[in-house]
Structure 1
Amino acid sequence: MRIGIIGTGAMAQALGGRWKRAGHHVVAGSRSRGDVRAAVEHGADAVLLAVPYAAAVDVVTGLEPALRGRTLIDCTNPVGGPDFALLTAGGPAAAERIARAAPGARVVKAFNLCHESVWRLTPPVFDGRPLAVPVCGDHEDALAVVRALVRDLGCEPLDAGGLHRAGLLEATAALLIGLWVGQGADAQAIAPPREFAGS
């Protein structure tokens, strides 16, 4: 696939590097270098939005014409402050705001629940179980692309519903970050084994 990345930070390097090793053609760009539009135009199959949430809507708004018809993967987290608060509490979700800023793009929320160090693992497998990656989106063709990119990382995609459910992923990220980083807790321990999840 031809993948463009908006941003050149840790998430861009981690995911982009893994996709390159999987055989994809990846180009990353940034506003500071002046090559972000070229990266978007390279992303014929997918474009990863890997910038801080505070800049995401403005960046996407400026690139809107180039993003039309493209699969835009949003891995941002609207989390901030000393208590790791969800900055979009009350809605709309960050992914929905991004979709409104680029109405011609096919936005998919994915890859926002893990630190960049996880995406550098080859593959992210824990206790013999591949990492599951929830994805939210409204366009089946875009979802199919993202599912394939999830599998290329050695992970398993999980259908988490339409883009209107992206806020649930973002709230989950805020909770997990607060537990992991804020308290040093083992956040994975909050979920019981599947057989105890109820019917």
Structure 2
Amino acid sequence: MGTLCYTTSVSLDGYIADATGDFQWGAPNEEVFQFHLDRLARLSAEVLGRNTYELMKYWDEEPEGEDWGEQEREFARRWGQVKLFVASSSMTEAEVTSPNATLCGRLTLDRLQEIVREAPNEVDIFGPTVAQEAILANIVDEFEFFVVPKVVGGGLRALPEGANLDLKLVDQQAFSNGTVCLRYAKTSLMWG
């Protein structure tokens, strides 16, 4: 049985995208990218929504005219070994073209728990919209936040309203660009 981890980059004021939808301020430098590459080794599966899936299809094959380096090629290789579960009620099977991806439609808590039970290692759930119901239902085991030294003043919140999380810091890593990875395990979830 795996564990469920909610992973995201987040501004200092708690947003994953600003009010215009921009999230490029959270793009990793080479050091943070290497950390993401290394953490792929512990992933069995990734649960993601339509927008994130479309963004991550970039790693299916090296784009023509681009020259990936060794780090990018290794990331693509490892990403291709992670099972992807695309939570989208608006996509069709034909739109999910990655060889390691499965369309699961609207993600229910039962389906998410089944994915985690069947996984030998960690299952990441990416994106606050996809993770909201799981966070509020207290089934997320760990939270991994890449805190970027940026204040955006509003936008898409990393955590849903109504969640009052009591977490314990289990790991931390600081990077040269000021980003800090904070990994927390849940101790309880209370309703606010």
| TM-score normalized by the length of structure 2 | 0.33
Looking at both structures, which has the greater relative contact order when contacts are Cα pairs under 8 Å and sequence separation is at least 6? 2
Structure with higher helix content: 1
Report the structure, 1 or 2, having the larger strand content. Answer: 2
TM score, norm. by length of structure 1: 0.32
